[in-house]
Structure 1
Amino acid sequence: MTAQFQDNTSTNVGSQFTSTTTALTANVWSAPIPINGPTSGAGVDRVVLQAVATSGFGVNWANGDTLDIGFLLLETGATAGTVFDGSYVNANSVMYAWTGTADASTSAATTYTPAIALVTKPTFDPCPRVEVTISDVTPTDNVVNVWRTADGKRQAVRGARKWTVNGSNFVIDYEAPLGQMIAYDLEVTSGLNNGVGVTQQTTTVSAASGCIQDPLVPSSAIPIYGDIGPNGEPALRGQALQDFEYAAGVTMVEILGSPDPVALIGQRQTAGNVDLSMITAAAQQTTDLRNLLMQAGVLLVRPIAPWDSELPGLCYIAPKSAIEQPFDTKWGGEITNWAIKSPLVAAPSMNVLVPVWTYGTVAALWATYQAAQTALASKTYLDVLKSPSGV
């Protein structure tokens, strides 16, 4: 084989270069014949390839002799890749396609490398969160899990367990721990990207306060402070977080002839009877906290430093009772004490029940469908998922 670089006027650029001589067997497909050349140089946009063939040492071919070429693979680097065409079966994160008519056009092999991108939002709109974008997944159905690791514990992001992603997608983690490093991983369990390794990403949500919320209703979130909040938001009382009980089921078995019984002990539980007593100093904040306690079975408390040293970053609680103790409201004041004790429990497994953006809230943004189309014309599908208002 010989090769000659040319520019867009078909003018030769540089010298012709040649492969080694290869002996072929008649009527049998041969392995690829590699030809390596120098750097192409400026202005080159094509290469002319020629097969120089003989039937022996300097003997020309006879009339009717032919040379069939099945593949031509051009590489821009110094290493030859694997030969393929558009009929190859998609696998291992690679998709094959003809660029035109099958067996009469060039072929493309596209390798997809899934990636995670994180955007941290520490504000209460509706609550501190991490926005997770999954990109460069094959444009076919892949089933994935998005995992969050914090406090040495790995949990699936709500709504992103056994999640089908085609090309790209976006999920908001409304339960990200505050003030500590969080790691996010993408696991592909089926599809063309199955088993691919994805680089872990880390971030920190630097919120100015803690948070209490219904984990299934992100818009229910209320700030919590270690002292009275600037607008009378809930704050921890002096007796809060004083005791942490780590109980385990123990059965004592007496052994005949021995003064020492045998203890059969079960799994030691996470902290129980945790005191999360609070105080609110504004009528609206008292109402908001009361409404939250009334609507949620399991609550999520996300502490911050310094009052989080004994607590995990995500405290799911299920208090049997919450005692509201008006302090001075009967005399026109706004201070209310709250007595709340609860064990720490497992997170509920359901997806978000009341999303921040619903069909109704999106429809209310625009007078007509065309108005939405015009305002969002420059946005991608993922952009609109992240913010239907276009802001």
Structure 2
Amino acid sequence: MSVTTRTNLATNPSAATTATNYAAVAGTGGTASVAWNSGAGYLSIPGFPRVTWTVATTAISGGISYTQTGLSAATQYATQIWVRCSKAQTLQLKVDFRNSSNAIVNTVTGSSVAVSASTWTQLTVVGTSGAAVTNAVFTAQAVTGGSNWAASDWLDGEAILIEATGTVGTYFDGSFTAAAGNVYAWTGTANASTSTDTVYQPFISLSSGSTPSPNVSVTYQDFDPGTNQINVWRTVDGKRRPVRGARHRNVVGSDFVVDYEAALGRTVSYDIEVLSGVCAGVVITTATITLSSTSGWLSDPLQPGTAIPVYADVGPNGEPGLDWDALAQFEYKSAVTEMIVAGTDEPVALVGKRQSADNVAFHVTTLATAQTNALRVLLKQASVVLFRPLAGWASALPGLCYMTAASILEQPVNEKLGGQEVEWQAKSDFVAPPAMPVLAPTTTYGTVAAEYATYAAFNAAHTGQTYLLIIQNP
């Protein structure tokens, strides 16, 4: 799990509405009192307690205290308080752990800190409570290196953080706004109860599938219970593209998407971009996977169920096999405009970016009528065909080849003699993938059978619908 929860045990940590639990520590010879102030405190949180001296101290001492009940025995606590005072002073945070009779069981003190005038400064201390401890008094006090408090001097202290841990963390309380994977809440009444910071760190896990062709299930989880909008990206051969159906996708907690366009036999990486929601800005570790396959694959990227295996030679069941002259050349065009300049015999060339391969010979042979029919249907229905080759077929082939061909030649070789051999020839251009989401998600016979008791029931449910509508939502 990558969801963790921090708990601030202070029940009035930022003194947002009252100075409850805070008290003045007048110090040797001094007189002081605490009062709640409605102005902006630490982090501009409204409200803070202020100790003001009316009689100066005669020794370096005195400050502000905070008392917290509900603590445990033999427990390590990391604590902090933020202070601000009217003059430069040296302060230290001291914690007196006490039992139910308020007898001090153990005292721990933090380092002395030089505090500049009118500047919020953090004081910290880490220590173990002791036997039978139930409560503690946290005191920010003047110590050696500082000076006596004079009449009219003041000291503010708030933003108390008490955690049962060994490391001082970043201050929080239940009033904080959820952001960057952190969700804050009071466990009871606001500003009168402990509070939590639930930290959500989403992560990606990948698993391979084989139906209807090699694919990757991209699972992303440990998002917060609110709605986050995300993009899921796939990177292969240095190109980062969105996974189909996973752009501007809403996720609550966890979800997954199946990528039917993952390249074969090479490293494919996935990452998530959080566009909005509590987890926006959270860094999500990239995940990688390599799909193995004994064949390449052709498919309509908008209808993954159309996938057909392609072999380097004859397919074992008559599936398309690459001919000897397939993938024999790759042409890379560029838009070039030449401008003749008067007085010189060298024209100036304006050259556009070199494009992906054109006129790629895609020649295959099918040796079974069923395979011929499947390929014919695919080539006729798909405006852009996705070809996922095996890595060793040609170094110039990208892992994902989105192809178009103005003309496709089908040549029956021996069908008129009762055979089943058909040759296919096309000069294909590599283009950008279509931007539409999947139009027809893959569905198995088992999933349909689980929904309908009889074939008649299936027909009745889809009366008047076109074939495309039925396969989109069987």
Between the aligned partners of 2:391 and 2:178, the Cα distance in structure 1 is 50
Tell me how far 1:306 sits from its aligned partner: 2.0
Q: Per the alignment, in what secondary structure is the counterpart of residue 339 of structure 1? A: strand
Partner of 1:92: 180
Determine the C-alpha separation between the residues in 2 that align with 1:312 and 1:76: 54
> 1:278·1:340 contact (CA, 8 Å) conserved in 2?
no
Partner residue, 1:36 = 126
Amino acid at match of 1:135: Q
The match for 2:218 is 132
Letter in 1 for 2:168: A
Partner of 2:378, secondary structure, is helix
Cα distance 1:21–1:51, how it changes in 2: closer, same or farther (>3 A)? farther
Residue 334 of structure 1: aligned partner: 420
CA contact (8 A) 2:179 2:280 kept: no
Q: SS at 2:357's partner residue? A: coil
Q: CA 1:298–1:18 in structure 2 vs 1: closer, same or farther (change >3 Å)? A: same
Partners in 2 of 1:116 and 1:52 — Cα distance? 43
Moved more, 221-230 or 264-273: 264-273
2:110/2:126 contact within 8 Å kept: no
1:6 to 73, 78, 94: 73
Counterpart amino acid of 1:201?
Answer: A
Counterpart pick for 2:401 among 315, 322, 329: 315
Rounded Cα–Cα distance in structure 2 between residues aligned with 1:343 and 1:146: 27
| Native 8 Å contact 2:386 2:401 kept in 1 | yes
CA distance in 2 between counterparts of 1:205 and 1:244 reads: 25
Which stretch of the first structure deviates more once superposed, 97-106 or 145-154?
97-106
Equivalent positions of 1:280-291 (< 5 A) are 280-291=366-377
**Within 5 Å, which residues of 2 pair with 1:111-130?**
111-121=199-209, 123=210, 125-130=211-216
Deviations 1:294-321 (A, max 9, x none): 1111100000032132111111111112
CA–CA distance in structure 1, aligned partners of residues 438 and 314 of structure 2: 30
Q: Which amino acid aligns with 1:307?
A: W
Partner of 1:277: 363
Contiguous gaps of at least 5 residues in structure 1: 23-29, 56-68, 369-391
Return the alpha-carbon distance in structure 1 between the equivalents of residues 138 and 293 of structure 2.
71
Residues 82 and 263 of structure 1: is their aligned pair in 2 closer, same or farther, counting only changes over 3 Å?
closer
- How big is each residue's C-alpha offset from its partner over 1:152-190, in whole Å with a ceiling of 9 and x where there is no partner? 111111111122222211111110011001111111122
Q: Equivalent residues in 2 for 1:118-197 (5 A)?
A: 118-121=206-209, 123=210, 125-197=211-283
Cα shift readout 1:351-373 (whole Å, capped 9, x = no counterpart): 00001249x975641579xxxxx
Higher strand share: 2
Aligned partners of 1:270, 1:84: CA distance in 2, in Å? Answer: 53
Structure 1 Cα separation of the partners of residues 301 and 429 of structure 2: 16
d(CA) in 2 for partners of 1:285 and 1:333?
Answer: 13
Alignment correspondent of 1:383: none
Residue of structure 1 in register with 2:26 after alignment: none
Pairing partner for 1:301 from 363, 371, 387: 387
Larger Rg: 2
Native 8 Å contact 1:5 1:16 kept in 2:
no
Aligned pairs, number: 339
* AA aligned opposite 1:94: N
Go from structure 1 to structure 2 and tell me whether the alpha carbon gap of 1:365 and 1:308 turns closer, same or farther (over 3 Å shift).
farther
Distance 1:255 1:84, change over 3 A: closer
- Tell me the distance in 1 between the aligned counterparts of 2:368 and 2:138: 91
CA distance in 1 between partners of 2:276 and 2:262 (Å):
26
Distance 2:125 2:291 in 1: 54
1:241 is displaced (CA, Å) by 0.8
Which amino acid in the other structure matches residue 373 of structure 2?
Answer: T
